[in-house]
Chains A and B, each alone.
Chain A
Amino acid sequence: MYNFDFERPSTIAEAVAALAGEDAQALGGGQTLIPTLKQRLAAPSKLVSLAGIAEMKGVTIADGVLTMGGGATHAEVAAEACPPLAALAGNIGDPAVRNRGTIGGSLANNDPAADYPAAMLALKSTIVTNAREISGDDFFRGMFETALEEREIITAVRCEVPQAANYQKFEQPASRFALVGVFVAKYADGVRVGVTGAAQEGAHRWGAAEAALSAEFSPGAVPPAPASEGLLSDLHGSAEYRAHLVAVLTRRAVAACG
């Protein structure tokens, strides 16, 4: 690692101020950032830990809205969120990773194989930052790219609690990230399907499946596998295989919604 200064503010305002310096970077749980720093792939002058900010903690459900602090750990989401998202969070990484990693950190990183982005696309989410609110649909801008500006911190995430939902993850055997993950959420006004792991663009919604499932919510209604064009291909699976898994996992998620 290159050396850096370390600060641990206790309010969002202090954190934003601390990030004002050149090359300062926010530190969530560090489960991706610290390995990246070890490889010397980043050289921040300062890391600003968000772990001490009380107003970024907590998971609550009220009036059909799930609200999670940006600093909520995966373990906290797994313990306190609505069941489909709790199950998703409870299968990220491993227990020690879940005790440190945060939902805000994961979303800001937008790894194309991370689990949360699929859920955020399916769950009518709003990403709340220190500066504004961003619809989940507008937040993800391709692999490792988001709508966040410099020094913008995810302070909270809100999701509309669905009538039914389920996340199906097919793990890449080494990293245990999603080779493909599909989050299906059923609302009164339609069905949303978020897909992660599959595409070069990162997490995205599967429109054809949403339309078909909104008309008829059953595994049999899931369309055939999407075209493999634009999907990832690597030593763990071809684009064709990923496309196939998108359909399989969508069917399974629908079936699991009961």
Chain B
Amino acid sequence: MPKDHGIGASPKRREDVRFLTGNGNYTDDINIHGQAYVHFLRSDVAHATINRIDTSAAEAMPGVVKIFTGDDFAEVGGVPCGWQVTDRFGEPMQEPRHPVIAHGKIKHVGEIVAAVVADSLDQARDAAEAIELDLDELPAVVDMKAALAEGATKIHDELTSNLCYDWGFVEENKEAVNKAFDEAAHVTSLELVNQRLVANPMEARVAIGDYSRSSDEYTLHTTSQNPHVIRLLMGAFVLGIPEHKLRVVAPDVGGGFGTKIFHYAEEAFCTFAAKACNRPVKWSSTRSEAFMSDAQGRDHVTKIELALDAENNFTAIRTDTHANMGAYLSTFASSVPTWLHGTLMAGNYKTPLIYVNVKAVFTNTVPVDAYRGAGRPEATFQLERVIDKAARELGVDPIALRRQNFITEFPYATPVAVEYDTGDYHGTMDKLEALADFGGFAARRAESEKAGKLRGLGVNCYIEACGIAPSALVGQLGARAGLYDAATVRVNATGSISVMVGAHSHGQGHETTFPQVVAEMIGIDESMVDIVHGDTGRIPFGMGTYGSRSIAVCGSAMVRATEKVIAKAKKIAAHLMEASDADIELKDGQFTVAGTDKSVAWGDVTLTAYVPHNYPLEDIEPGLEETAFYDPANFTYPAGAYACEVEVDPETGKVSIERFSAADDFGNIINPMIVDGQVHGGIGQGIGQALLENCVYDGDGQLLSASYMDYAMPRADDVPFYAVDHSSQTPCTHNPLGVKGCGEAGAIGSPPAVVNAVIDALRSAGHDVTHIDMPMSPARVWAAMNP
């Protein structure tokens, strides 16, 4: 019987009621009395010198409160990058200044050139049209390899070139890897593009800055996945506001997918302008603005090589990647192609030698940063594509080749610096084989062929590093922050509980799942537990939600805090029952003395904590509230195996996804319904990447895919029902819940399966196709069939 409450049950989501009745409270739903509106004048050229900005006519327009340019921000800090990568020569990365408003030069289409604050948004927009810009356009640098060429136009005058860093990992292994390739029985190589994507949470970003002259306190309402991170970055690095004078609130947030992790110029602007204008200042991004101001994702160009011995064992992997940073370094941009990518290059396989080279490049494009999976999809895609290609070259079954090379003993230290604590890759592959009905494929292919369609089956595995992250480790790797998390469990006198968590829910259902854990630990009804999140004024601290870390890191802090609460409550119970602490047991919300029939209820103890008439005041304080910070000992390593079946229309090249199956190992699971939903959503985005989505700039740095008219989002009729399974479970060995995280798996695991399937379909009709770059649009598939 499935459980009906607590850990492992699937209670309905409590947050759904407000969302289904229109009572959500998203940032754009908030209006502060007296607020003014900002319209950002954004550059329509990619690269230019700013000679002069004349705002005089605009300032005289109706309703204008104040107009800001880069000069107004010359005295404040730039938007910081949170991770310093050290290159393969031991030097720090090149880090350009990232002004809130362009100063001196414009470096990408969409960059803020001026900001108009006015009584109404239309007035602000009207006035922005009256601003006169005197610019000298410069050649745009768009292609990464051209950006690194001798004599290329430099984007940042203060840097020596457009190279952010040239990173080698593990540099010491390079010679051994090269030697392994020299000695290999077979080498498969593949050049591929992991195309640029736009995250596109359905809620575009919004920021409202407010300032109180009476208390000298600032409040920023913003669409963020991590309000404390914004408080830290904006307060400490940009505006110089101490934490106790700055509150950051992220209420209901309509999806994030990474792009709402980062601290953005618009947030700093609204906060700064609220004081400068002495009015709250609100910015609501349009979707068109989002396309040119939200940090974008992926954009890697890679050559990967796989060396095998005569028995088809993997002996070495070598990769050469160019990673596009865009014009500036967004908050975690530098870490994505390095520590979130190179460290995963072992995949699920016992390849003894690996060398990863990444050149990060500045271009005149919107900054690139983490998008669902962040580095791990890029690693998985290369590896699983090259393995598939190797299997074809060697004439062996691609699943058998994978199985032969699976890591089977844990813990396993990879040659790329991480240690997998646990896993069972044959186990997930076994689940997949059953789920995807490989046995029936031949018959399904025959049916498709009867209808004039080509059918293909593609399989891949994936592993990811989640539960980000052990602070000491990431500190060594260049992170400028700790990546622990925190929770406060506040028990009220009547026994109800508020849990203040540093994780932020923007679709993940924390308001339902986190109480499942606390309620189970105490043995009370889940309805007695609420979580509070998304407000630096109400929660102790937190690094937010990304990298599938919420339950693994913040959930662990919550468990620790709950354990402290229970320990104290037992002392109170012991006092009430005149027993020893050590003899107190807690079950189903009742404290009992072992071996007796004495008991007190949870509510009696909590009431006693707050009405301490009969209380051991000499030993313990009144009240029942505990905080814990949890810093993980290791990453977690969810892994799995995915399969996709496609049909290809040989006349048009159109691909349709006929079946999609996912077998994941997430360790222990709190709420299976929500885990399924996370996997579904990730697969939807992965199919989007594989078939539809493409963020494209022309040679002048103009964004061609600048709206939903040209950026193809996956829709309901682009995808099938997905078959998902997470019954293969190897619990994480180092966190208290044994959980691994599930938020990114679908987006990481699905693109290679789709591509492998399309290649399989085409080859079934005799087309000698080894690779098609994503998105595999009909035009590209047709071109591959008709070279």
In the complex, what distance in Å separates the CA atom of A226 from the CA atom of B304? 40
Q: Is the CB of A235 within 8 A of B704?
A: yes
Report yes or no: A238 in contact with B708, Cβ–Cβ below 8 A.
no
- Alpha-carbon gap, A28 to B182, bound state (A): 70
**Beta-carbon contact of A174 and B652 below 8 Å:** no
| Most central of A38, A170, A174, A244 by chain B CB within 10 Å | A174
Is A245's CB under 8 angstroms from B652's CB? yes
Contact of A244 with B777 at beta-carbon distance under 8 Å, contacts A173-B712, A174-B710 already known = no
Check A175–B692 contact: CB distance below 8 A: no
Which residues of the other chain, A, contact B696 by a CB distance below 8 angstroms?
235
User: Is B782's CB under 8 angstroms from A244's CB?
Assistant: yes
Closest residue of A by beta carbon distance from B718 = A173
CA distance A21 to B116 in the complex (A): 33
| Bound: A173/B779 CA distance, A | 11
- What's the nearest-Cβ distance from chain A to residue B751, in Å? 16
List chain A residues, Cβ under 8 A from B691: 173
Chain B residues with CB below 8 A from A248, complex form: 651-652
Contact A237 B778 (CB under 8 A): yes
A241 to B779, CA, bound (A): 6
Chain A nearest CB, measured from B46 CB (Å): 17
Q: Could you tell me which residues of chain A, from 24 to 60, have a CB within 8 Å of some CB in chain B?
A: 38-40
Decide if A236 is an interface residue (CB 8 Å cutoff): yes
Q: Quick one: closest B residue to A38, CB to CB?
A: B286
Closest to A39 in B: B288
A222 to chain B, nearest CB (A): 12
Closest to A252 in B: B651
A175:B709 contact, CB within 8 angstroms: yes
What residues on B are CB-neighbors of A236 within 8 Å?
A: 710, 777, 779
Considering the complex, give the chain B residue whose CB is closest to the CB of A175.
B709
Cβ-defined contact, A173 with B708, below 8 A: no
- Roughly how many angstroms separate A245 CA and B696 CA in the complex, as a whole number? 23
A238–B779 CA distance with the chains assembled, in angstroms: 7
Give the Cβ gap from B690 to chain A, nearest Cβ, in Å.
12
Residues from chain A with Cβ under 8 Å of B469 in the complex = none
Inter-chain contacts of B708 with A (CB < 8 A): 174-175
* Chain A residues whose C-beta falls within 8 Å of the C-beta of B712 in the assembled complex: 173-174
- Interface positions, chain B 750-787, Cβ under 8 Å from A, are 777-779, 782-783, 786
- Whether B73 is near chain A, meaning CB under 8 Å from some CB there, is no
Q: Which of A225-258 contact B (CB under 8 A)?
A: 234-238, 241, 244-245, 248
Q: Looking across the interface, which residue of chain B has its beta carbon closest to that of A170?
A: B652
Please encode chain A, from 139 to 175, with 1 for each CB lying within 8 Å of some chain B CB and 0 for all others. 0000000000000000000000000000000100111
Q: Determine whether B122 belongs to the interface, using a CB cutoff of 8 Å to chain A.
A: yes
Query: For the complex, is B492 an interface residue (Cβ under 8 Å from A)?
Result: no
Chain B residues with Cβ below 8 Å from A179 are 778
Across the two chains, which residue of chain B brings its CB closest to A241?
A: B779
Once bound together, how far apart are the Cα atoms of A12 and B704, in whole Å? 40
A25 CA to B704 CA, complexed, in Å: 29
Q: Please indicate the chain A residues that have their CB under 8 angstroms from the CB of B710 in the complex.
A: 174-175, 235-236
- Taken residue by residue from 702 to 725, chain B's Cβ proximity to chain A (1 for < 8 Å, 0 otherwise) reads as 001100111111000000000000
Q: Are B779 and A174 in contact (CB under 8 A)?
A: no
CA gap between A170 and B129 in the complex, in Å: 39
CB distance from B372 to the nearest CB of A (A): 20
Chain B residue nearest to A238 in the complex (CB): B779
Q: How far apart are the CA atoms of A174 and B777 in the complex, in Å?
A: 11
Does B694 count as interface, using CB distance less than 8 angstroms?
yes
User: Which secondary structure dominates where chain B touches chain A?
Assistant: loop
**Complex interface: chain A residues within 8 A of B125 (CB):** 40
> How far is A1 from B286 in the complex, measured between Cα atoms in Å?
13
Question: Could you mark each residue 99-110 of chain A with 1 if its beta carbon is under 8 Å from any beta carbon of chain B, else 0?
Answer: 000000000000
In the complex, what residues of A have CB within 8 A of residue B777's CB? 173, 236-237
B652 touches A173 (CB 8 A): no
Residues of A within 8 A of B694 (CB): 235
B534 CB to nearest A CB, Å: 30
Q: How far is the CB of A187 from chain B (nearest CB, A)?
A: 27
Please, what's the 1-or-0 string for B653-681, where 1 marks a CB less than 8 Å from any CB in chain A?
Answer: 01000000000000000000000000000
Q: What residues of chain A lie closer than 8 Å to B709, measured between beta carbons?
A: 174-175
Q: Which residue of A lies closest to B782 (CB)?
A: A241
B687 to chain A, nearest CB (A): 12
**Best-surrounded residue of A39, A175, A241 (most CB of chain B within 10 A):** A241
Bound-state Cα–Cα, A1 to B126, Å:
9
Which residues of chain B come closer than 8 Å to A174, judged between CB atoms?
A: 692, 705, 708-713
Distance of B711 from chain A, by nearest CB (Å): 6
On whether the beta carbons of B651 and A170 are closer than 8 Å, the reply is: no
**A3 near B779: Cβ-Cβ < 8 Å:** no
Q: Are B779 and A237 in touch, CB under 8 angstroms? A: yes
Q: How far is the CA of A238 from the CA of B786 in the complex (A)?
A: 13
- The interface residues of chain A lying within 8 Å CB-to-CB of B654 are 170
A248 to B786 CA separation, bound complex (whole angstroms):
14
Query: Chain A residues with Cβ under 8 A from B705's Cβ?
Result: 174, 235
Complex interface bits, B124-135 against A, C-beta within 8 A gives 1, otherwise 0: 010001000000
Cα distance A21–B694 in the bound complex, in angstroms: 44
* Residues of B close to A245: CB separation below 8 A: 652
Closest to B704 in A: A235
Residue on A with the closest CB to B711? A174
Interface centre among B711, B778, B779, B786, by most A CB within 10 Å? Answer: B779
Q: Which residue of B lies closest to A180 (CB)?
A: B652
Centre residue among A1, A235, A237 by max chain B CB count within 10 A: A235
- Which residues of B224-241 have CB atoms within 8 Å of chain A's CB atoms? none
Which residues of the other chain, B, contact A244 by a CB distance below 8 angstroms? 782, 786
A173 touches B692 (CB 8 A): yes
Instruction: Give the complex CA separation of A179 and B709 in angstroms.
Output: 12
- B782 lies within 8 A of A3 (CB): no
Q: What residues on B are CB-neighbors of A234 within 8 Å?
A: 704
Rounded to whole angstroms, the CA-CA distance of A102 and B783 in the bound complex is 36
Contacts of A170 in B (CB 8 A): 652, 654, 778
User: For the complex, what is the distance from the CA of A234 to the CA of B778, rounded to whole Å?
Assistant: 13
Check if B704 sits within 8 Å of A241, measured CB to CB.
no
Task: Chain B residues near A235: list those with CB within 8 A.
Answer: 694, 696, 704-705, 710
In the assembled complex, the CB of A195 is this many whole angstroms from the nearest CB of chain B, namely: 16
Known pairs A174-B708, A241-B783; A3 contacts B122 (CB<8 A): yes
Report the minimal beta-carbon distance from B745 to chain A, rounded to whole angstroms. Answer: 25
Per-position binary interface string of chain B over residues 250-291, scored 1 when its CB falls under 8 Å from any chain A CB and 0 otherwise: 000000000000000000000000000000000000101000
Bound-state CA distance A54–B786 (Å) is: 53
**CA of A241 to CA of B696, assembled, Å:** 19
Q: Which chain B residues border A175 with CB–CB below 8 Å?
A: 708-710
Cα distance A11–B710 in the bound complex, in angstroms: 38
CA of A1 to CA of B129, assembled, Å: 12
> How far does the Cβ of A2 sit from chain B's closest Cβ, in whole Å?
8
How far apart sit A244 and B711, CA to CA, in the bound complex (Å)?
23
For residue B782, which residues in chain A have a CB less than 8 angstroms away from its CB?
A: 241, 244
Chain B residues positioned under 8 Å from A237 (CB to CB): 777-779
Q: How far is the CA of A170 from the CA of B782 in the complex (A)?
A: 13
Nearest A-chain residue to B715, judged by Cβ? A176
Q: Nearest-CB distance from B709 to chain A (Å)?
A: 4
Tell me, in angstroms, the Cα distance from A237 to B781 when the chains sit together: 11
Query: Using Cβ atoms and an 8 Å threshold, which residues of chain B touch A3?
Result: 122
* Alpha-carbon gap, A137 to B651, bound state (A): 30
1/0 per position for B286-322, CB-CB distance to A under 8 A? 1010000000000000000000000000000000000
Residues of B near any A CB (own CB < 8 A) = 122, 125, 129, 286, 288, 651-652, 654, 691-692, 694, 696, 704-705, 708-713, 777-779, 782-783, 786
Beyond A174-B692, A174-B705, A235-B694, 9 additional contacts (C-beta under 8 Å) are: A39-B288, A173-B692, A173-B712, A179-B778, A235-B704, A235-B710, A237-B778, A238-B779, A248-B651
Q: Which residues of A contact B (CB under 8 A)?
A: 1, 3, 38-40, 170, 173-175, 179, 234-238, 241, 244-245, 248
Closest 7 CB pairs of A and B: A174-B712, A173-B712, A237-B779, A175-B709, A241-B779, A248-B651, A174-B710
Listed by A's residue number, 23 A-B pairs whose Cβ atoms lie within 8 Å are A38-B286, A170-B652, A170-B654, A173-B691, A173-B692, A173-B778, A174-B692, A174-B708, A174-B710, A174-B713, A175-B710, A179-B778, A234-B704, A235-B704, A235-B705, A236-B777, A237-B779, A241-B778, A241-B779, A241-B782, A244-B786, A245-B652, A248-B652
